[in-house]
Chains A and B, each alone.
Chain A
Amino acid sequence: MGELSEVIWANAVRTCEIGKALARDIPIENFARLPMGEGGPIFMNHPAFVYGHLSLYPARVLKMAGLNPQLAAVPYWYEEVFGSGTICRDDPFAEIYPDKNEIMGQFDRSLGVTADLVRQLPDEIMEETHTMSPEFGSMLLSLGAAAEYLLNNHPMFHLGQVSAWRRCMGLEAAQW
């Protein structure tokens, strides 16, 4: 265990807990709903999309670190509905997205498993250059920076979207 990996682990664990707290009181039937505005649906990301999308990235971190990505893998078709560039759709009849319990299970497992595995990595590995494509981020060239981003920054950005979605759906601020 290195000092870098300890920081990344601590942040990822906290992010996972905040993510679960934000979802806890969301009714299953609203989990994949877009809020309705005065002119129709508001095209923001709903929780089903956010948590499914975030479940894709832990396996990539493991792959970048030379670990087995299957340990955090989600069903192969998640990429088709949750991948970067896909559109978040309103799903009133639960025809597009898995249900809340399934998605939250994938989110919790994939992030938790990956955080624990990353924690065991020495700092020398964290300082190595990763193999993701350059468009991923020219500022995040090392494995450590990429892992920190994918297990912490990126999830928290999307969890902020869930925070705002909650307010639009009449829910109060979540407690954690």
Chain B
Amino acid sequence: MGYMSELIGACGQRSIGIAAMMNKGVTPEMFARLPTKDGKPVQTNHPAFVYGHLSIYPARLLEMAGEDPSAVALPEEQLALFTPKAECLDDPEGTIYPPMPDVMQRFMDGYTKALQRFGEWDDAKLAGPHQGAEAYQKLAPTLGIAATFFLTTHMAMHLGQVSAWRRFMGLGSVFG
């Protein structure tokens, strides 16, 4: 393991740990619900959408590294639900999003496997280019910067949304 992968991997592990903590007290019934304010839904991201959306990126990272992403890829039918352009929908009947255990299992499994593979990349590989699309080349010119984005930055932003969603739903802080 290179030092860069050790460093970024540590932050990634912490992110996964926080992701698991964020589900404390969340029930399957509320997992895919939008909060309401003044009788109207608030168009913020609920956990089903967040964890499903995040589950796209372990495969994306492996693709960018030139590796086989199939072990962590989302099923085709779920990609449309969770793509960045998809709208997060209220799902009171549980007919739109996969059940909470399935979403969480795929999330944890995907990131655990991606981090394992990531840990095998040396610093030279991480300091080099990646095979991502042009938009990713602008966002992150090296594989290491792209990996930190997917394993830490991007995940942290969406977990912050779950943190705020928890408060909407009457749940407390998971810290302290």
CA–CA, A111 to B126, complex, Å? 25
Q: How many A-B residue pairs have CB under 8 A?
A: 136
Shortest beta-carbon distance, B17 to chain A, in Å?
8
Q: What are 7 A-B interface contacts by the 8 Å CB criterion?
A: A3-B4, A3-B127, A38-B38, A44-B167, A156-B154, A161-B160, A164-B168
Establish whether residues A142 and B7, one from each chain, have CB atoms under 8 Å apart when the complex forms: yes
**B164 part of interface (Cβ distance < 8 Å):** yes
Stretch of A58-66, A73-81, A147-155 at the chain-chain interface: A147-155
- Kindly supply a per-residue 1/0 record for chain B positions 1-16, scoring 1 wherever the CB is within 8 Å of any chain A CB and 0 otherwise: 0011001101101110
Establish whether residues A161 and B164, one from each chain, have CB atoms under 8 Å apart when the complex forms: yes
Q: A164-B45, A168-B37 are in contact. Are A156 and B123 (CB under 8 A)?
A: no
Name the A residues within 8 Å of B154 (CB-CB): 156
Name the A residues within 8 Å of B52 (CB-CB): none
Cβ-defined partner of A160 (8 Å) among B4, B13, B163: B163
Q: A7-B142, A37-B168 are in contact. Are A167 and B157 (CB under 8 A)?
A: no
Stretch of A9-17, A91-99, A101-109, A114-122 at the chain-chain interface: A9-17
Residues in B lying within 8 Å of A, measured CB to CB = 3-4, 7-8, 10-11, 13-15, 18, 35-39, 42-45, 123, 126-127, 139-140, 142, 144-145, 148-149, 152-154, 156-165, 167-168, 176
Within 8 A of B (CB), among A127-176: 127, 137, 139-142, 144-145, 148-149, 152-165, 167-168
Establish whether residues B168 and A148, one from each chain, have CB atoms under 8 Å apart when the complex forms: no
Establish whether residues A153 and B43, one from each chain, have CB atoms under 8 Å apart when the complex forms: no
CA–CA, A101 to B114, complex, Å? 41
Establish whether residues B167 and A43, one from each chain, have CB atoms under 8 Å apart when the complex forms: yes
Chain A residue total in the interface (Cβ 8 A): 45
CA–CA, A37 to B163, complex, Å? 16
Interface of A (DSSP majority class): helix
Shortest beta-carbon distance, A87 to chain B, in Å?
10
Establish whether residues B163 and A148, one from each chain, have CB atoms under 8 Å apart when the complex forms: no
Name the B residues within 8 Å of A137 (CB-CB): 14
CA–CA, A163 to B165, complex, Å? 11
Establish whether residues A163 and B149, one from each chain, have CB atoms under 8 Å apart when the complex forms: no
Q: A4-B3, A163-B161 are in contact. Are A153 and B37 (CB under 8 A)?
A: no
Establish whether residues A7 and B144, one from each chain, have CB atoms under 8 Å apart when the complex forms: yes
Name the B residues within 8 Å of A18 (CB-CB): 157
Q: A3-B144, A153-B156 are in contact. Are A168 and B42 (CB under 8 A)?
A: yes
Cβ-defined partner of A159 (8 Å) among B123, B152, B160, B165: B160
Establish whether residues B11 and A153, one from each chain, have CB atoms under 8 Å apart when the complex forms: yes
Q: A140-B14, A154-B156, A159-B157 are in contact. Are A123 and B3 (CB under 8 A)?
A: yes
Name the B residues within 8 Å of A15 (CB-CB): 153
Cβ-defined partner of A167 (8 Å) among B3, B43, B176: B43
**Chain A minimum-CB-distance residue to B144:** A7
CA–CA, A167 to B39, complex, Å? 15
Q: A4-B4, A127-B3, A163-B160 are in contact. Are A149 and B168 (CB under 8 A)?
A: no
Establish whether residues A4 and B7, one from each chain, have CB atoms under 8 Å apart when the complex forms: yes
